[in-house]
Amino acid sequence: MSRFVARSARETGFFLGIAFFVILAAFPFYWMVITAFKQNSDLYNIANTPFWFNEPPTLDHIKYLFSQTLFTRWLLNSLIIGLCVTAITLLTAVPAGYSLARMTSRRGEALGIFIFLTYLVPPTLLFLPLSRIIAELGLQNSMWSLVLVYPTFTIPFCSWLLMGFFKALPVEIEEAAIVDGCSLFGAFIKMAVPLSVPAILTVVIFTFTLTLQEFVYALTFVSSSDQKPITLGVSTDLIRGDVFFWGEIMAGALIAAIPVAIAYNLFLDRFIAGITGGAVK
Amino acid sequence: MAAVLTRNIVKTFADVAAVNGISLNVPDGEFMVLLGPSGCGKTTFLRIICGLEQQTSGDLLIGGNVVNDIPPRARGVAMMFQSYGLYPHYTVRNNIAFPLRTQRVSRDEIKKKVEWASQLLGIDHLLDRRPRQLSGGERQRVALARALVREPTALLLDEPLSNLDAKLRTSARQEIKNFQQRVHLTTIHVTHDQVEAMGMGDRIAVIDHGRVRQVGTPTEIYQNPADLFVATFVGAPPMNIVTRNGGGYLGFRPENLLPRRMIEDDAATEFSFRVDRSEYLGSERIVYGVIDGYESKQPITAKLPPAHVAEDSIRPGEWHEFAVKNSALRHFDSSGRHRTRN
């Protein structure tokens, strides 16, 4: 009997612990969802319980977003910026990570750490010198300035991440390809790249998410509404003076969050499962 | 198929010479084994031959042409790696076809050759599998098929058997050797396993500290080691080495150290042998001990045929009369080199 009690107490403790963290992680998301569908009169009545719908849910906020604001434009901007930055990051970080992993000896590792350190310099410091560069290039107040600036923080981190992955890849596979008739570049394209698809997908998602949620650079370099990415558009155009359009803000955030959530769930298994099994014993 | 010739190859890594002047001639069709302890430079030497490393100095000739500055893909050699280096994202068929694809061989020709190579090695039923679905022995055969399919000038094997378990290793040894004899392919096989070297090689090159100590047939290497290193590296247990009174060393194989009465020849050198320990191994008995009047760094071993020696006749702690036929004695000078006569 006492063993049963002890066991159930242990399990209760375990699940209570899990529940605490689940609530901690999911509550903001829940808050965003219900706010996005609440009527304004429900939202602003302080006598209502804020945790649930006191009046029937509505799609007004979403309709407002698409009809009265440039929300579609912001979504599109974010998408274009995200795709361009991801492409630039892949084109530079994959060869960079590979070179750091294979071409240099011990110096490569030190260089890799140094590159990673540049990622740690906060954007709040960097936007000052970067703004000069943007101005010189005539890109101020254009979303293309963000396409130029975002790779400054995605490339270092992704090169470093890919370097670790390429190091774990057995070098014999590439060497076998070289002896079998490939050039060094051929071995990289035909062996290293296809075998590092899980890492490349990680980089794609990481880069895309990071650009999607970036705020400081966007705020600094872009001010026209039609050039804004979604983070900036939602938080600047939907707060007018001291009026917060809470329903619209939350609806905008929700719509932006959904594709990312789907992408994570689809590719989660790819991140974890390597496909290198059987290459070497 | 072609002969491989190296002239004074040197490779240094940050002032350390991994390969320290190796000159080796492997004639067309020969099975040459490079034997040496780990870290002796034999794998580096192999990588220089296939072009994955560039030698610091020295010449490499394949088929009579100097290939020092020719990239690996143009040398036409095939290499089988210790871990096989199969392409995990390709099927067995595509693995084997890969060297032909890089040479832009026509599709029909590729199909024909892949079938030929896979039948030769008995893996034609595995063509649609991926490397991770194969056993160790099957992977080895795929790697071999991939190496052969384009009919290389020379086949380089880098410890290909070390990943197999003991039983499989024996049959794989047989398979590689048979196969090499059938296609008559110049082969250079790197190993640290002397059984592998003795059993497979037409000739063996014993390598230590980046230098060739001796090149010869397995019999030559075993019977007439060129120096103390070869004498003690080849053979299990290794050759007994004792210090001679007049300077230099005296060596004899454990199977030649026998009780005096078992040697009918009169031309024999007698030793007083104190037995410390004796091991019965079924087909033989190995006896460890010391010899009176001679110094040795290792315990002296004698390998006795168990049927001829009753267990109680060789008792630990006792002195026995042993002898070695004079023809089986090997003399080395004080620097460790072999001397033909006293």
Q: pLDDT tens across B132-166, in order?
A: 999 888 898 899 899 988 889 999 999 888 877 88
Helix segments in B14-153, DSSP class H: 42-50, 72-75, 92-102, 107-120, 136-148
In chain B, at which residue ranges do the beta strands (DSSP E only) sit? 4-13, 16-26, 31-35, 57-62, 65-66, 78-80, 155-158, 187-191, 203-208, 211-216, 240-243, 249-252, 258-259, 268-280, 285-291, 300-304, 319-325, 330-332, 338-339
Of B78, B84, B89, the CB nearest to A280: B84
Q: What is the DSSP letter of B210?
A: T
Here the tokens at position B64 are 């009579």
- Which residues constitute the domain of residue B75? 4-227
| Average pLDDT of the residues in A89-107 | 87
Give the model's pLDDT for residue B310.
Answer: 61
- Contact assignment for A176 to B136 by CB distance below 8 Å: no
Here the tokens at position B36 are 């040496």
| Average pLDDT of the residues in A20-34 | 93
Last-in-domain residue among B207, B227, B247? B227
Does A153 have pLDDT greater than 60? yes
B247 interfaces chain A, CB cutoff of 8 Å: no
Q: Taking CA atoms, what residue in A is nearest to B52?
A: A175
Is the separation of the CB atoms in B45 and B207 below 8 Å? yes
Q: What confidence tier does B308 reach under pLDDT thresholds 50, 70, 90?
A: low
Is the separation of the CB atoms in A154 and A207 below 8 Å? yes
CB atoms within 10 A of CB A118: 14
- Contact assignment for B81 to A172 by CB distance below 8 Å: yes
CB atoms within 10 A of CB B290: 18
**What CATH number does residue B303 fall under?**
2.40.50.140
B102 interfaces chain A, CB cutoff of 8 Å: yes
Q: Which residue's structure tokens are 């242990």?
A: A10
Does A1 have pLDDT greater than 70? no
Residues B327 and B222 in one domain: no
Give the model's pLDDT for residue A279.
Answer: 40
A92: CB partners within 8 A, 6+ apart? A151, A155, A159
Does A281 have pLDDT greater than 60? no
Give the model's pLDDT for residue A271.
Answer: 57
A129 interfaces chain B, CB cutoff of 8 Å: no
Q: Quote the CA–CA distance of B37 and B307 in Å, as a whole number.
A: 34
Give the model's pLDDT for residue B341.
Answer: 53
Of A172, A177, A278, the CB nearest to B132: A278
A276 interfaces chain B, CB cutoff of 8 Å: yes
| Average pLDDT of the residues in A230-244 | 86
Q: Taking CA atoms, what residue in B is nearest to A180?
A: B99
Here the tokens at position B323 are 């002898």
Residues B159 and B22 in one domain: yes
Question: A185-213 in b/e burial notation, b at 16+ Cβ within 10 A?
Answer: ebbbebbbbebbebbbebbbbbbbebbbe
Q: Taking CA atoms, what residue in B is nearest to A280?
A: B83
Give the model's pLDDT for residue B220.
Answer: 94
Here the tokens at position A139 are 């890109």
B162 interfaces chain A, CB cutoff of 8 Å: no
Last-in-domain residue among B227, B257, B284? B227
Does B9 have pLDDT greater than 50? yes
Domain count, chain B: 2
Q: What is the DSSP letter of A125?
A: H
Residues B50 and B78 in one domain: yes
Q: Choose the mutation target among B102, B103, B156, B168 for the interface with A, i.e. most A CBs under 10 Å.
A: B102
Q: Is B297 helix (H, G, I), strand (E, B) or coil?
A: coil
CATH fold of the domain at A62-277: MetI-like fold (1.10.3720)
Here the tokens at position B309 are 């020696």
Residues B213 and B310 in one domain: no
CB atoms within 10 A of CB B59: 14
| Average pLDDT of the residues in B309-317 | 70
Residues B19 and B115 in one domain: yes
Give the end-to-end CA distance of chain A in Å, rounded to a whole number: 51
Cα atoms in the 13 Å half-sphere on the side-chain side of A121: 14
Closest CA to A101 of A177, A159, A57, A56: A159
Q: What is the pLDDT of residues B27-62, one digit of tens each?
A: 999 999 999 998 899 999 999 999 999 999 999 999
From A189's Cα to the closest Cα of chain B, the distance in A is 13
Q: What confidence tier does A196 reach under pLDDT thresholds 50, 70, 90?
A: confident
Closest CA to A182 of B60, B85, B62, B140: B85
- Contact assignment for B133 to A191 by CB distance below 8 Å: no
Residues B254 and B307 in one domain: yes
Residues B223 and B233 in one domain: no
Q: What confidence tier does B342 reach under pLDDT thresholds 50, 70, 90?
A: very low
Residues B54 and B186 in one domain: yes
Q: What confidence tier does A244 reach under pLDDT thresholds 50, 70, 90?
A: confident
Closest CA to B135 of A41, A281, A192: A281
| Average pLDDT of the residues in B183-200 | 92
Residues B222 and B245 in one domain: no
Last-in-domain residue among B180, B204, B227? B227
From A177's Cα to the closest Cα of chain B, the distance in A is 8
pTM listed for this prediction: 0.80
CB atoms within 10 A of CB A39: 17
Residues B73 and B12 in one domain: yes
Q: What is the pLDDT of residues B219-257, one digit of tens each?
A: 999 999 999 999 999 988 999 999 987 788 999 999 999
Of B83, B89, B103, the CB nearest to A280: B83
Residues B111 and B189 in one domain: yes
A175 interfaces chain B, CB cutoff of 8 Å: yes
Q: Quote the CA–CA distance of B287 and B315 in Å, as a whole number.
A: 10
Q: Taking CA atoms, what residue in B is nearest to A183?
A: B73
Q: What is the DSSP letter of B149?
A: T
| Average pLDDT of the residues in A185-203 | 89
Q: What is the largest CA-CA distance in chain B?
A: 75
Residues B124 and B216 in one domain: yes
